Amino acid sequence: MPLISIRDLVVEYDGRRVLDGLNLDIEQGETMVLLGGSGSGKSTLLRHIIGLERPRSGQVIVKGTDIARCSPAELKLVRRSIGVAFQSGALFNSLSVEDNVALPLREHTALAPSIIDLMVWMKLLVVGLAQFGKLRPQEISGGMKKRAAVARALALDPEILVFDEPSAGLDPIVAAELDDLILLLKRAFQMTVVVVTHELDSAFRIADRIAMLYKGSFLAVGTKDEIRSSQDSRIRKFLDRIPDTSAHFQSAEKDLERYLQGEMVLQ
Amino acid sequence: MPTLVENVGRRTLNLFDYVGGLTLQLGAGVRALGAALPIVGNRNRWKASVRQMMEIGVDALPMVGLMSLCAGFILAMQGASELKRFGAIRYVIDLVAVGFTRELGPLLTAIAVSGRSGSAFSAEIGTMMVTEEVDALHVMAFDPLQFVMAPKFLATLIVLPCLSTLANACGILAGWIFMFFSTNIGFGLYMRYALDSIVMHDVVSGLIKSLAFAIIIVQVGCLEGFRVRGGPEAVGHSTTAAVVRSTFLVIVADAIFTAIFYFTGMS
């Protein structure tokens, strides 16, 4: 039985369909990369997997619970088995890095403060920030913030670790270090990892399987090799970094023609 | 181009949406309030409430005190200029004492706290929305209302009546300073006249108003914050809206309460 199962997921905003009947199974212990261009719906899909939004229809089943339909208490229980590292880090600026990591432990467990301190130190050690625990988020670099966010996501030893654009805004070396960290976490803790990204190098480095999203639908779901060898023109365009300008220019040309003929007014 | 009817319709819907949101949030806020209480609630939320009390209350003491002194002088001088024509300058004491206890103390305090803390609530929560910190709270299985709003709510409910009492004292003190220089009245005699003019209803009605103003300031400030979508610009808009709307609603509530107290014979 898959750990995460998405069935016929439909999401609409103001009548505009953003996700169109998605189906996806993510097995325990695998790293699934949700790959796609801007506006393809990958972040929306991620927000539904972590229960931040409820879909128009369909199911998002995490550990046997449909989080699109479950009670708030059940959702709370499921959420404790998911760790999320947000794109911006989403660390609390009023707390130090170590207090950020300690927060879920202090609130959700009855552990002694000395044990919590030890656990926080270990989590920070794993992400290479053991010496920076006393600093505030605004005092550390972008890459360090992302690693601190990973440490906080790991605090309650979740079964599922979710990354939203882990490489975004980082230089190639720091991005590669973060990829290594994801691989290390998966190896060390046998976690199920879900990563949303549009970075090809990163995706092919860390993924066991890749789900390729395009305009709210999956073009393909498969292993790295299957995606690499795909002959689908839209996947090839994305993988070969071919800009999709022809349709855009054709539309602009038509608009200009209509404007010159007085059929269209500028708004 | 939207027609007049469409504009009126949209604004009416927005108004219902806002009032509905405010009512729902108030209900959820009251339920969340228990988490911030000492002993029966969460220890960390209570600590946060105490911090909020310091920020909302203690830090506002000089401002509220000075504003009330100035308003006390103004009221005493304006009152004296009319009353002395009838040889009734002694009644300046009644005017200041009753005016502050029933009306000016709670109202001035609410306006000061709305500008100072209501805007801060909105800016803080709005920034948390923009930086995904509220999303992070959700995925860490925290209730943002308990985590963010409940300490502010409890602190304001406790602090605003205290600040109003201080404002009353400062206003009445300003009245004595004026009367001392005008009529050479001693402090003891002044206070005896002042206390004779105030009845328990005045004090209770002032405190009831303070509690209502506290609810308005917190709920409007927090709702504006939670409704922030977009970037830093939206935070600025929400901060302005929080001050404008909470000040407006405080004055409307004051008028309603005064009318109720007047027509029920409580004043």
Q: What is the residue-averaged pLDDT of chain B?
A: 93
Closest-CA distance of chain B to residue A80, Å: 6
Q: What is the pLDDT of residues B203-215, one digit of tens each?
A: 999 999 999 999 9
Task: Give chain A positions within 8 Å (CB) of B141.
Answer: 76-77, 79-80, 104, 108
Q: What is the pLDDT of residues B234-254, one digit of tens each?
A: 999 999 999 999 999 999 999
DSSP A51: T
C-beta atoms surrounding A118 within 10 Å: 12
Average pLDDT over residues B14-30: 93
Task: Give chain A positions within 8 Å (CB) of B135.
Answer: 47, 52, 86, 90
Per-residue confidence (pLDDT) for residue A174, from 0 to 100: 82
Per-residue confidence (pLDDT) for residue A245, from 0 to 100: 63
DSSP B230: S
Low-confidence ranges of chain A (pLDDT < 50): none
Residue of B nearest to A164 (CA): B132
Taking a contact as any Cβ pair under 8 Å apart, which residues of chain A between 95 and 134 contact chain B?
Answer: 103-104, 106-108
Per-residue confidence (pLDDT) for residue A244, from 0 to 100: 67
Residue of A nearest to B138 (CA): A52
User: What distance in Å separates the CA atoms of residue B135 and residue B122, rounded to the nearest whole number?
Assistant: 17
Backbone angles phi, psi at A84, to 5 degrees: -125, 130
Q: Are A85 and A162 in contact (CB under 8 A)?
A: yes
Per-residue confidence (pLDDT) for residue B267, from 0 to 100: 63
Q: Which of B128, B140, B148, B235 to mutate to test the interface with A (most CBs of A within 10 A)?
A: B140
Task: Give chain B positions within 8 Å (CB) of A51.
Answer: 138-139
CA-based angle A156:A160:A163, to the nearest 5? Answer: 100
- Helix and strand counts by DSSP (H, E) for chain B: 12, 0
Closest-CA distance of chain A to residue B147, Å: 10
Residue of B nearest to A103 (CA): B140
Q: Are B169 and B64 in contact (CB under 8 A)?
A: no
Per-residue confidence (pLDDT) for residue B140, from 0 to 100: 92
Which of A92, A108, A152 is opposite residue B141, by nearest beta carbon? A108
Interface ipTM:
0.84
Which of B132, B141, B142 is opposite residue A86, by nearest beta carbon? B132
Torsion A205-A210-A213-A214 (CA) sign: positive
Backbone angles phi, psi at B186, to 5 degrees: -80, 160
User: What distance in Å separates the CA atoms of residue B143 and residue B134, rounded to the nearest whole number?
Assistant: 9
Per-residue confidence (pLDDT) for residue A177, from 0 to 100: 86
Task: Give chain A positions within 8 Å (CB) of B138.
Answer: 51-52, 79
3-class secondary structure, B186: coil
User: What distance in Å separates the CA atoms of residue A193 and residue A163, rounded to the nearest whole number?
Assistant: 8
A136 near B CB under 8 A: no
Neighbouring C-alpha atoms within 13 Å toward the C-beta of A81? 17
Return the CA Rg of chain A.
21
Map tokens 């779901």 to a residue: A221
Burial track B104-124 (b if 16+ CB lie within 10 A, e otherwise): bbbbbbbbbbbbbbbbbbbbb
Residue of A nearest to B43 (CA): A107
More confident residue, B71 or A187: B71
Direct distance between the N- and C-terminal alpha carbons of chain B, in angstroms, rounded to an integer: 51
Chain centroid offset of residue A113 CA:
32
Task: Give chain B positions within 8 Å (CB) of A108.
Answer: 141
> DSSP H helical segments within chain A, as ranges?
42-49, 72-79, 97-108, 113-126, 142-154, 172-189, 200-206, 224-228, 233-239, 246-260
- Are A82 and B139 an interchain contact pair (Cβ–Cβ within 8 Å)? yes
Chain centroid offset of residue A38 CA:
13
Task: Give chain A positions within 8 Å (CB) of B145.
Answer: none
Residues counted in chain B: 267
B132 near A CB under 8 A: yes
Structure tokens at B208: 């009831």
What own/partner pairs with CB < 8 Å and gap ≥ 24 does B47-51 have? B48/B151, B49/B150, B49/B151, B49/B154, B49/B155, B50/B155, B51/B151
Residue B190 has pLDDT above 90, yes or no: yes
- Are A107 and B142 an interchain contact pair (Cβ–Cβ within 8 Å)? yes
- Are A104 and B140 an interchain contact pair (Cβ–Cβ within 8 Å)? yes
Structure tokens at A205: 């480095």
User: What distance in Å separates the CA atoms of residue A245 and residue A263, rounded to the nearest whole number?
Assistant: 25
A70 near B CB under 8 A: no
Per-residue confidence (pLDDT) for residue B95, from 0 to 100: 95
Structure tokens at A242: 């071919």
Q: What is the dihedral of CA A240, A243, A247, A248, to 10 degrees?
A: 160
C-beta atoms surrounding A160 within 10 Å: 22
**Amino acid identity for residue B1 in this structure:** M
- Are B138 and A51 an interchain contact pair (Cβ–Cβ within 8 Å)? yes
A54 near B CB under 8 A: no
B55 near A CB under 8 A: no
DSSP A208: S
Structure tokens at B11: 């604004």
Backbone angles phi, psi at A56, to 5 degrees: -70, -45
User: What distance in Å separates the CA atoms of residue B213 and residue B80, rounded to the nearest whole number?
Assistant: 30
Per-residue confidence (pLDDT) for residue A263, from 0 to 100: 74
Q: Which of B46, B52, B55, B132 to mutate to test the interface with A (most CBs of A within 10 A)?
A: B132
Is pTM, for the whole model, over 0.90? no
Residues 6+ apart with CB under 8 A from B73: B174, B177, B178
Q: Which of B200, B36, B218, B45 is nearest to B122 (CA)?
A: B218
Map tokens 């009023």 to a residue: A94
- Are A87 and B142 an interchain contact pair (Cβ–Cβ within 8 Å)? no
List beta partners, residue A12. A17
User: What distance in Å separates the CA atoms of residue A207 and residue A226, rounded to the nearest whole number?
Assistant: 12
User: What distance in Å separates the CA atoms of residue B64 and residue B109, rounded to the nearest whole number?
Assistant: 6
Per-residue confidence (pLDDT) for residue A175, from 0 to 100: 85
Which of A80, A86, A104 is opposite residue B135, by nearest beta carbon? A86
Task: Give chain B positions within 8 Å (CB) of A79.
Answer: 138-141
Average pLDDT over residues B185-194: 94
Please report, rounded to a whole number, the percentage of residues in chain B having pLDDT higher than 70: 99
Closest-CA distance of chain A to residue B212, Å: 30
A168 near B CB under 8 A: no
Structure tokens at B118: 């209501």
DSSP B85: G
Q: Which of B43, B55, B135 to mutate to test the interface with A (most CBs of A within 10 A)?
A: B135
C-beta atoms surrounding A239 within 10 Å: 17
